[in-house]
Amino acid sequence: MGKHLFLGDEAIAQAAIDAGLSGVYAYPGTPSTEITEYIQNSATAGERGIHSRWSVNEKTALEAALGMSYAGKRALCCMKHVGLNVAADCFMNAAMSGIHGGLIILTADDPSMHSSQNEQDNRVLGNFAMIPILEPSSQQEAYDMTYEGFGLSEKLGYPILMRITTRMAHSRAGVETRPPREQNPLHFPEDGKQRFILLPALARKRFKALLAAQDSFIRESETSLYNTYFDAPDKTLGILTTGIAFNYLSENYPGGFQHPVLKICQYPLPRKQIERLAGDCGAILVLEEGYPVVEEQLKGFLGRGISIHGRLDGTLRREGELTPDSVGKALGKDVNSYYSVPEIVVQRPPALCTGCGHRDVYEALNEVINTYQGAKVFSDIGCYTLGALPPFRAIDSCIDMGASITMAKGAADAGAFPAVCVIGDSTFTHSGMTGLLDCVNEQTPVTIIISDNETTGMTGGQDSAGTGRLEAICEGIGVAPGHIRVMIPLKKNYEEMKRIIREEIEYKGVSVLIPRRECIQTLKRKHPAKK
Ligand X SMILES: Cc1ncc(C[n+]2csc(CCOP(=O)(O)OP(=O)(O)O)c2C)c(N)n1
Using CB under 6 A, list all residues that contact ligand X.
Answer: 27-29, 58, 80, 82-83, 86, 381-384, 401, 424-427, 453, 455-459, 464
CA 33 to CA 48: how far, in whole Å? 21
Q: Is 261 helix (H, G, I), strand (E, B) or coil?
A: strand
- How many Cα atoms sit within 13 Å of 34 on the Cβ side? 17
* Strand-by-strand arrangement of the 133-134 sheet: 21-26, 74-80, 103-109, 160-165, 133-134, 266-267
Q: Torsions phi, psi of 177, nearest 5?
A: -100, 170
> Which CB, 31 or 102, lies closer to ligand X?
31
The site partner of 281 among ligand X, another protein, none (C-beta below 5 to 8 Å per kind) is: none
CB of 358 to ligand X, least distance (A): 6
The site partner of 31 among another protein, ligand X, none (C-beta below 5 to 8 Å per kind) is: another protein
> Which CB, 68 or 403, lies closer to ligand X?
403
Mark residues 338-357: x for contact with another protein by CB under 8 A, - for none: xxxxx-xxxxxxxxxx----
CB of 450 to another protein, least distance (A): 20
SS (H, E, C) 425-446: HHHHHHHHHHHHHHHHHHCCCE
Instruction: Report DSSP state, residue 267.
Output: E
Q: Is 284 helix (H, G, I), strand (E, B) or coil?
A: strand
CB of 388 to ligand X, least distance (A): 13
CA 434 to CA 430: how far, in whole Å? 9
Mark residues 3-42: x for contact with another protein by CB under 8 A, - for none: x-x-x----------------------xx-xx--------
> Which CB, 335 or 472, lies closer to another protein?
335
> Which CB, 102 or 457, lies closer to ligand X?
457
Number of residues that bind another protein (CB under 8 A): 50
The site partner of 172 among ligand X, another protein, none (C-beta below 5 to 8 Å per kind) is: another protein
Largest separation between any pair of C-alpha atoms in the chain: 78
Instruction: Choose among 150, 272, 156, 148: nearest CA to 217.
Output: 156
> Which CB, 264 or 401, lies closer to ligand X?
401
CA 382 to CA 379: how far, in whole Å? 9
> Which CB, 183 or 247, lies closer to another protein?
247
> Which CB, 143 or 248, lies closer to another protein?
248
Cα 40 from chain centroid?
Answer: 19
CB of 367 to another protein, least distance (A): 21
> Which CB, 304 or 338, lies closer to another protein?
338
Contact 474, 432 (CB under 8 A): no
Does the protein bind another protein through residue 479 (CB under 8 A)?
no
CB of 317 to another protein, least distance (A): 15
Q: DSSP string covering 128-141, please?
A: HHT--EE--SSHHH
CA 489 to CA 492: how far, in whole Å? 8
Instruction: Find the Cα–Cα–Cα–Cα dihedral 437, 438, 443, 444, rounded to 10°.
Output: -130
Footprint (CB under 8 A) of another protein, residues 382-401: 383, 386, 390
Instruction: Choose among 321, 327, 314: nearest CA to 121.
Output: 321
The site partner of 27 among another protein, ligand X, none (C-beta below 5 to 8 Å per kind) is: ligand X
The site partner of 186 among ligand X, another protein, none (C-beta below 5 to 8 Å per kind) is: none
The site partner of 424 among ligand X, another protein, none (C-beta below 5 to 8 Å per kind) is: ligand X
**Candidate residues 167, 195, 359, 409; the one interacting with another protein per rule CB under 8 A:** 167
Beta bridge partners of 25: 77
> Which CB, 96 or 519, lies closer to ligand X?
519
> Which CB, 140 or 431, lies closer to ligand X?
431
CB of 65 to another protein, least distance (A): 24
**Candidate residues 251, 313, 475, 506; the one interacting with another protein per rule CB under 8 A:** 251
CB of 488 to another protein, least distance (A): 23
- How many Cα atoms sit within 13 Å of 300 on the Cβ side? 6
> Which CB, 185 or 349, lies closer to another protein?
349
CA 396 to CA 398: how far, in whole Å? 7
The site partner of 453 among ligand X, another protein, none (C-beta below 5 to 8 Å per kind) is: ligand X
**Candidate residues 56, 173, 399, 480; the one interacting with another protein per rule CB under 8 A:** 173
Q: Which residues of 301-311 are buried (b: 16+ CB within 10 A; e: fewer)?
A: ebeeebebbbb
Footprint (CB under 8 A) of another protein, residues 217-246: 244
> Which CB, 151 or 460, lies closer to another protein?
460
Q: DSSP string covering 454-482, please?
A: SSBTTTT-B--TTTT-HHHHHHHHT--GG
Contacts of 209 (CB under 8 A, 6+ apart): 98
State the residues that interact with another protein by CB under 8 A.
3, 5, 7, 30-31, 33-34, 114-115, 167-168, 170-174, 244, 247-248, 250-251, 254, 323-325, 328, 335-342, 344-353, 383, 386, 390, 458-460
